[in-house]
Chains A and B, each alone.
Chain A
Amino acid sequence: MDVLLLTTLFLPLAGALLLGGDRNWARWGALAIALAVLGIAVVLVARYPGGTAPFASTDWPWLDWTAAPIDVRFSVALDGLSLWLFALTALLMVVAVLVGWEAIKEQAPLYYRLLMALETGMLGVFVARDIILFYVFFEFTLIPLFFLIGIWGGRQRRWAAMKFFLFTLAGSVLTFLGLLAVVLWVYYHPAPEAASGRMTFSIAELTAALGDRPMDPTMQIWIFLALFAGFAVKAPLWPLHTWLPLAHVEAPTAGSVLLAGVLLKVGVYGFARFSLPMLPQAAATLMPWLLWISLAGVIYGALVALAQSDIKRLIAYSSVSHLGFCTLGIFAANRLSVAGGVLQMVNHGLATGGLFAVVGMLYERFHTREIADFGGLARRFPRLAFFTLVLTLSSIALPGLAGFAGEFPLLVGVFQRGWAGDAAPHALQLRAIAVLSLAGVVLGAWYMLWMYQRVFFGPERTGDKNRGSGIGDRGSGYEALDISNPKSQIPHQQISGSLSTNPDPRIPNPDPHTAGPYHFPKGEGTIRDLSPREICCLTPLVVMIFWIGLQPGFFLDRMRPTLDDLIAPVTRACETASDLPTADRIPNPESPNPEPPLQ
């Protein structure tokens, strides 16, 4: 039992149950809890010994029956794969609490309670060492985010929240079946020496058991597809990504930060934790397909991002592209590529999380997210421009920043996978994928820098255009958005309710938020550069980006041993696969008859 790790799980949960009072109490309380969790996370990371043994583990029986073998445990621990994602979550939660500091006025206690519940869920996903516990946390994260999007979101928030929840749930129920099938398969094929009759749900034990006694390849593929359904929606991989831009755009800033920063990673984490080590043969067989899908996500996300006029939407699509890189690295199942993929997850969390925070800050100031409404902000807002620049450059993998430290080994690994074994049946495809993935890097640089240039450089498009457009013409609903007016954060349904009689959230109402160039409601003096709070919010991200970029070894070394363990089965499977003729690469001596399609 490890008190520190348990504290990180239960302290936010206690906060979720107990936070109350008025807005000030709630937000300070939430900040205190988030900082405490971050502090503990730092201590845990500092103490992490490396190696492959689980660290800070707690293992309690949960469903212990005398009469039945089912053995679900409350089992948590950290290892190399989860360590940095865990720390990232703790860090981004502080950011998330800070970004909504002023913006959230309505039902603030509920907001912070949901944030705390979300923190428990996200941390739990990464530390769970039991399949059921993992799934419980995996699904539980949906509930707070559903409310965060639905209550504090933008104009289409109801539809966005529903779509987000239903898409993710539809995928994850299949994952659930897949996980159960894994457990049952191991239970019915116990090791010859230890027939204890205990049905284990422990991830480590299941992985070990499946390493010793692999499943039938056909069955592996079916279970792999079942797991894929949930993780791919969550990640999200193309073409299952359609919920993501909507959810991102409609979510409140903190929701976007956490969604991009942490929750998307849960899908990729699932691939690395379950799909690859438990079903290596399927991962090897399907590798070209998986890589093509990832690549499609990279290119598609980048191309669509190029065409966006809304900054938040652009960053949302850039997430699709970047997550495509992460899965590219994971599915290539090469030592370098997986390490790069995991590090890239952390980097994406820092950079994109930070960019979403920046978008939130812009929106708080100007009530628009249209790129066309901005221009030349760098002169007026140098601090904002600086932070955004670092985040943007990290996002496009400038050497010396975090993005490069992740993307470079990732791509090297993908190339190695393509050129390693000349006899590999898919070598040509793999090479094509490796080369094409470079196009994703180029496109990524294009749309990010273009966006940055349009927003922060160029002619300053501020008051002059606005004054001509006549604010007063827009009617009283528009006036209500006055930034200095405490009512400006009144819930959106009241705004849309007052502006429109159309109850259907799917039909866009003429929205004042995005209808035109921004304006300065009370004269230009009211809009200032970043406040100390906002600097506090972005500084840790930038510091981490520099640290990872300049000293990637510190981060990679701690995750390497675990990752090597995780991908060892796939590597073996790939080697055996490349030895065989293409037509029947999958040895299937155990099932002489062709299996029926299911299982």
Chain B
Amino acid sequence: MTAADLRLLVPEIVLIAAAVTIYLGGAFSTARRAWSWIAAAALLLAAVALWSQNPSADGGSLGCDALARYVQWFALAAGALLVSLASRPLRFDGTPEYVGSLLLTVAGLMLVAAAEDIVLMFVALELISIPTYVLLYLGRDDAESQESAAKYFFLGVLASAILLYGFSFLYGATGSTAFSEIRAALDGTTILPPGFAVFARLAMVLVFAGLCFKVAAVPFHFYAPDVYQGTTHANAALLSVVPKAAGFVVMARILVAAIPGMEPYSWGVVLAVAVLTMTFGNVMALWQDDFRRLLAYSSIAQTGYILLALAVGLAARDAPGAWNGIVALWFYLATYAAATIGAFATMEYLGRAERRLDSVDDLAGLGRTRPAAAAVMAVCMFSLAGVPPLAGFWGKLLVFGGALSVDTSGTAGWWFTAAAVVGVLNAAVAAAYYLRIVAVMYFRIPLATPPARGGRGAWMSAVACALLVVGIGIYPGPLMRAGNFCDQQLPRVDAGAKHHSPPFGRQKNPPPPQSAPQFGMAATKKVSTPNAYHIRRTLVLSQTRVTTSCHIIFK
């Protein structure tokens, strides 16, 4: 392990060091508000470290391609918004543990983004999951909260185990833990031992099933409404962003990049799950009165759209430009995250420590009593509904445009066109419940003025999200371009091997192939065999976590 490799980890190390400091400091200090500032400083430091990294360094099992960069910046931004959102101290002991765990999940997401190796990826996923369990446990101290934490924990562990089981077959089939080698082993250049090819398929199914839990897709979605309802706004915001982002990164790394030749099997599964997920989420959300429960179903539905983008990416990776599903995936994820965090942050801001705003009806008349907060919430809701000119619209444009652009000479195209039609009708159904929130805020008489004592941090977070949503809506180009780089640098099947035939019948004159963009970093780097270095590093990470968990428990 060279110093250059270590430098790639500096942002994560900064975050974890800060988290440990906060854990330890919390045991000795009674300060309550300082921890959020330390966390914010750590995030800033990590951002500086990420900015100044030399991207051309060979990271071993750490990738530093555009996808990693994108998700790492995404993680830092989401982390900053979440820390700000949760900056009001808890009503009971545990504030430092809460803030520290938040930083750990951010570090985990950053590691997942960069992981180019099964082991590192699994450990990084657990680095997200375990602090999340702690966060759910710390958020509230009532029976509902304990129920919610227990549900999330047991299902989360089961999902991790399914994922791990899938990883074991991936490892077994290829004899390696590095994605580059798994890829090399599966793309036909190496001859697998007889009977081993089926392991790869099994692995794909199991990995996808495990990840469906992380992203809350049907049929592994059922925990989400209960868990969201039983926890705090800050935790719900975290749950709807961080594990989802991690899940989609792993899907992209494994389903799209690491298992070549599986696309004919995988897109069908992903498409079916996507359509079911969006339909189920949207229909169920229509009847909800609890705000977090409603947004839980909304986040399930939004997962459906993102999965549709993934299915497009699997079926037609070489579709031109923006209509590539992988681009749509990253773009959509960012817009969704901004709007969702904004909505939860507004709710957090409107409440106060002793009285959370839980029900949609609590928002009645907000347009008069708290016009600014109502405007922020309305912007987020319209964006989630996909109304132009807000950010969500562009996400939907990319997703549905991608679905329409899938090759229609085979059966795939018909399925994708049908999915696009179902998808847009779903968007119309979804508008019903998003608009209901807006209607309650603006069209009803105020019952009581919400206290709006959720803290300046929550308010800043909400405003920042609204500005992001509007800003991306007005000028989405840069974010789309970033998403495009993510796709360009993910390994793909050679252009010759898989010819993408265009939709709508014949192609008279093929457009020239798109040249890969000159992005300021080298192409994806590969490592040789997994060596002792990353194992040692992951061991250090897991020890940190064990220590912190024990610290919480024995405190």
- Which residues 391-442 of B have a CB within 8 angstroms of A? 393, 397, 400-401, 404-405, 408, 413-414, 417-418, 420-421, 424-425, 427-428, 431-432, 435-436, 438-439, 442
**Does B51 have its Cβ within 8 Å of any Cβ on chain A?**
no
Max chain B CB contacts within 10 Å: which of A132, A497, A590?
A132
A-contact 0/1 string along B465-483, CB 8 Å cutoff? 0000000000111001100
Q: Mostly helix, strand, loop or mixed at chain B's interface? A: helix
Which chain A residue lies CB-closest to B504? A185
Which residues in A have their C-beta under 8 angstroms from that of B439?
Answer: 150, 158, 161-162
**Does A174 have its Cβ within 8 Å of any Cβ on chain B?**
yes
Contact status of A170 and B481, CB under 8 A, knowing A146-B435, A197-B512: no
- Flag if A68 contacts B424 (CB, 8 Å): no
**Does B484 have its Cβ within 8 Å of any Cβ on chain A?**
yes
Contact status of A591 and B505, CB under 8 A, knowing A65-B321, A67-B514, A68-B484: yes
Contact status of A497 and B420, CB under 8 A, knowing A69-B320, A162-B432, A192-B508: no
A-contact 0/1 string along B40-54, CB 8 Å cutoff? 000000000000000
- Which residues 268-284 of B have a CB within 8 angstroms of A? none
Contact status of A174 and B485, CB under 8 A, knowing A69-B514, A147-B442, A181-B404: no
Which chain A residue lies CB-closest to B424? A173
The contact of A63 among B387, B417, B476, by CB within 8 Å, is B476
How far apart are the CA atoms of A63 and B408 in the complex, in Å?
27
- Which residues 18-71 of A have a CB within 8 angstroms of B? 62-70
* A442 CB, nearest partner CB in chain B, Å: 38
Number of interface residues of A (CB under 8 A): 61
The contact of A187 among B389, B421, B443, B511, by CB within 8 Å, is B511
Which residues in B have their C-beta under 8 angstroms from that of A177?
Answer: 400, 404, 420-421, 424
* B394 CB, nearest partner CB in chain A, Å: 8
Contact status of A173 and B428, CB under 8 A, knowing A136-B388, A140-B387, A188-B507: yes
How far apart are the CA atoms of A213 and B507 in the complex, in Å?
12
- Flag if A173 contacts B442 (CB, 8 Å): no
Contact status of A598 and B481, CB under 8 A, knowing A67-B517, A170-B425, A195-B512: no
Contact status of A135 and B517, CB under 8 A, knowing A65-B477, A69-B320, A188-B507: no
How far apart are the CA atoms of A161 and B510 in the complex, in Å?
47
**Does A151 have its Cβ within 8 Å of any Cβ on chain B?**
yes
B-contact 0/1 string along A167-201, CB 8 Å cutoff? 00110011011001101110111111001010100
How far apart are the CA atoms of A132 and B473 in the complex, in Å?
13
How far apart are the CA atoms of A215 and B408 in the complex, in Å?
15
- Flag if A68 contacts B503 (CB, 8 Å): no
**Does A157 have its Cβ within 8 Å of any Cβ on chain B?**
yes
Which chain B residue lies CB-closest to A135? B388
* B335 CB, nearest partner CB in chain A, Å: 14
- Flag if B481 contacts A66 (CB, 8 Å): yes
The contact of B387 among A143, A191, A215, A598, by CB within 8 Å, is A143
The contact of A68 among B321, B389, B475, B507, by CB within 8 Å, is B321
- Flag if B387 contacts A184 (CB, 8 Å): no
Which residues in B have their C-beta under 8 angstroms from that of A161?
Answer: 439, 443
How far apart are the CA atoms of A67 and B488 in the complex, in Å?
9
Which residues in A have their C-beta under 8 angstroms from that of B431?
Answer: 165-166, 169
**Does B55 have its Cβ within 8 Å of any Cβ on chain A?**
no
- Which residues 100-123 of B have a CB within 8 angstroms of A? none
**Does B322 have its Cβ within 8 Å of any Cβ on chain A?**
yes
Contact status of A599 and B421, CB under 8 A, knowing A63-B476, A184-B401: no
**Does B528 have its Cβ within 8 Å of any Cβ on chain A?**
no
- Flag if A64 contacts B321 (CB, 8 Å): no
Contact status of A189 and B504, CB under 8 A, knowing A68-B322, A150-B443, A173-B425: yes
* A163 CB, nearest partner CB in chain B, Å: 10
Interface on A for B, CB 8 Å cutoff?
A: 62-70, 107, 110, 132, 135-136, 139-140, 142-143, 146-147, 150-151, 157-158, 161-162, 165-166, 169-170, 173-174, 176-177, 180-181, 183-185, 187-192, 195, 197, 199, 213, 215-216, 219, 491, 493-494, 497, 590-591, 596, 598-599
- List 10 A-B residue pairs with CB atoms under 8 Å apart, sorted by A's residue number: A70-B480, A139-B387, A142-B387, A150-B443, A151-B443, A169-B431, A170-B425, A181-B504, A189-B509, A216-B505
Q: A107-B368, A195-B511 are in contact. List 12 more A-B contacts (CB 8 A).
A: A69-B511, A70-B480, A135-B388, A139-B387, A140-B387, A162-B432, A166-B431, A170-B428, A177-B400, A184-B401, A188-B502, A497-B445
Interface on B for A, CB 8 Å cutoff?
A: 320-323, 327, 367-368, 371, 382, 387-389, 393, 397, 400-401, 404-405, 408, 413-414, 417-418, 420-421, 424-425, 427-428, 431-432, 435-436, 438-439, 442-445, 475-477, 480-481, 484-485, 488, 502-512, 514, 516-517
